[in-house]
Amino acid sequence: MVKITIDGKQYEVENNLTIIQAARESKIHIPHFCWHPKLTVSGNCRVCLVEVEKMPKLVIACSTQVADGMIVHTNSEKVIKAQNAVLEFILINHPLDCPICDEAGECKLQDYAYKYSVGESRFEFDKVRKPKRVELGPNVMLDTERCIMCSRCIRFCDEIAKKPQLTFTQRGDHVELTTFPGECLDNPYSMNVIDLCPVGALTSRDFRFKARVWEMSSTDTICVGCSRGCNIKMWVRNNEILRLTPRMNPQVNDYWMCDYGRLNTFKHVNAANRIKAPMIRKEGKLVEVGWDEAIAKVSSELKAYKKPEIAAIGSAFSSNEDNYLFVKLMGILGVKKLDIMPHIKTGDQDELLIREDKTPNMVGTREVGVKPDSNEFGFSSIMNDIRHGKVRALYVLDDDIAADPNIAEALIKIDFLVVHASNENETVKLADVVLASSSYAEKHGTFTNFQGKVQRNRPAVATLDHDRILDGMELSRLDKFGSHNDRWTQGIKRDTRATWRIVNMLATAIGIRWRYNTCEEVFNEIAAAIPAFKGLSYLKIGTNGALLNLKKKSVTVKD
């Protein structure tokens, strides 16, 4: 440890830190463009210049290591003058297109120009024109004239994604960011360069020109694209999800997320094939009905079959709370044929984030009890029993098991099929009763990733489930958008409910009196009843998650 002085205050820091790192740990902000805590130092933006006593000139804070007794000034007259000069230089050829730039409202150059620049330019010549709307890859668009050559994107591809695809060409004021000859920016993590870009040079082709950042609300939640469970922010306008961005959690995903999770895990929420209400098959067609009629139908049908004739399929796409109540209800009904359908894509995994298991809650689902007592009750055995007529009624929780043609062929033989689903799918087409469940973006819950870390999922989109709205969404957010908007109204008209609520309603219809009013109450029971969850609560899980009480050998998911 060494003692340094920053702006008149003394701090004790580790001796291997740079000035910008030491200042960051001490809650002192030094402006920077090219520096990033997870990338190597390039030192080319020069906006982080600081004054160090006994040094002949200003030094860049990002690459200057601290030393015992060092005295640093971050806001002296020399530093302020240098910051003004650097920002004036950066802005010389920068276009004045903030009103149409996607980065407006979250642009570091915009913020720094206001805070550290003089607000005027002495440059009276024509700006250098560079290419616009360059398609760097399938997901990223480049406006070269906005680029300030910080090289963050280049270093990310080289150091994090391990795919050197970007470089600088030309020199001086004609320098341009581009891809290597014959390359395009198509690595599985390419869209992280959009988050890294401190200006609006790199933008998402999917999100481009859809909304301004101040028009959207952001909700801290998690990605459900695989068993990693990346921490994300879900951005919503008019009750419609417009984008997902990574949220920093050093124990799960750091600052990153993959392109698949960013683009393919939310569009079903506002899709045209959303199920808007419960449905019952009448005269060969699924017809929308009220919740009371649908629940009564399921209750009466399940009572009509013998216990060995009923099987249940839980879901690793559903939360811990959903699966826990599902297991509890099946146990009361005496259903022993209980398992989940695996979703493993062998080989689709890397050393950074992507996992072979494409479900967000395999570990949690197993821990709360969705697992067969023996091989004769496993998923494959259940399918065989269906083919041989031994299982006549099947209850499927939030999983499109009929997407597999072999399973779809078997399900045709089922006498009674009840399905929880948020969107129309192959399993819904075969169902006798469809219970309209909320998507992960519309409900509270917890998911457990492959590391055994329990993480909170929070609602960002509203439905007709008013109790959930009041429980999980700020009233200011409802007031902000109002019910006059068509898209907002369309979302509210969906009479879907969280799966744990549906199971709770079914239990009541069967004659079981459970008193669960919120998802948190279900989790508190899980924490009291299941040793792996002992001591956990929503408060302890917080925003970064909490580990299960598991011994290493008990975690069976491939690490």
DSSP state letters, 490-556: HHHT---B-HHHHHHHHHHHHT------SHHHHHHHHHHH-GGGTT--HHHHTTT-EE-S--GGG--
Alpha-carbon span 6 to 26, nearest angstrom: 9
User: Is it true that 2-91 and 279-439+497-536 share their CATH fold?
Assistant: no
Per the listing, tokens 């959207």 go with 216
Residues 6+ apart with CB under 8 A from 42: 34, 35, 150, 151, 155
- Cβ neighbors of 120 (< 8 A, separation 6 or more) are none
Which pLDDT tens digit goes with each residue over 358-399? 999 999 999 999 988 777 788 999 999 999 999 999 999 999
Please list the ranges in the chain whose pLDDT falls under 50.
Answer: 466-488, 552-559
**Which uninterrupted H or E stretch holds 457?**
strand 453-457
Q: Which residues, in sequence order, are CB contacts of 232 under 8 Å at separation 6+?
A: 220, 221, 222, 223, 244, 245, 246, 247, 257, 261
DSSP letter for each residue of 104-119: TTS-HHHHHHHHHS-S
> What amino acid is encoded at 137 in this protein?
G
Amino acid at 421: A
| Residues facing residue 282 across a β-bridge | 285
**Where does residue 160 fall: left (phi above 0), alpha (psi -120 to 50 degrees), or beta otherwise?**
alpha
Going by the DSSP 8-state scheme, the letter that residue 437 receives in this structure is: B
Q: What is the pTM of this model?
A: 0.91
Contacts of 12 (CB under 8 A, 6+ apart): 1, 2, 3
pLDDT tens readout for residues 489-508: 555 578 899 999 999 999 99
Within a 10 A sphere around the Cβ of 175, how many other Cβ atoms? 14
Q: Tokens representing 7?
A: 């702006």
- Give the pLDDT score at 120: 77
Q: Which residue, 141, 118, 152, is CA-closest to 44?
A: 152
What pLDDT, on the 0 to 100 scale, is given for residue 492? 58
Q: Hey, how many other C-beta atoms are within 10 angstroms of the C-beta on 525?
A: 17
Taking the mean position of all CA atoms in its chain, how far away is CA 449?
A: 13
DSSP string for 361-388: -HHHHHHTT-S-SSGGGSHHHHHHHHHT
Q: What is the CATH number of domain 98-209?
A: 3.30.70.20
- Please state whether beta strands 310-313 and 337-339 pair in parallel, antiparallel, or not at all (unpaired): parallel
Would you tell me which CATH number, out of the four given (3.40.50.410, 3.40.50.740, 3.40.50.300, 3.40.190.10), belongs to the domain 279-439+497-536?
Answer: 3.40.50.740
What confidence score (pLDDT) does residue 491 get? 52
Q: What are phi and psi of 178, to 5 degrees?
A: -155, 175
Q: Which residue has the tokens 């821990």?
A: 367
Give the neighbor-by-neighbor strand order of the sheet with 231-237: 217-222, 231-237, 240-246
Residue owning tokens 């409802």: 478
Q: Which residues contact 551 (CB under 8 A, 6 or more apart)?
A: none
Domain boundaries, the chain: 2-91, 98-209, 279-439+497-536
DSSP 3-state of 152: helix
Neighbours of 493 (CB within 10 A): 11
CA–CA separation, 254 and 266 (whole Å): 21
Kind and range of the H or E run holding 299: helix 291-304
CATH class of the 2-91 domain in this structure: alpha beta
Cα angle 224, 226, 229; round to 5: 60
Pair 196, 185: CB distance under 8 Å: no
Residue 483's pLDDT is: 39
Extract the tokens encoding 267. Answer: 């569009």
The 3 state secondary structure assigned to 483-500 is CCCHHHHHHHCCCCECHH
Per the rule left: phi > 0, alpha: psi between -120 and 50, beta: everything else, 453 is: beta
Instruction: Give the whole-angstrom CA distance, residue 118 versus residue 141.
Output: 31
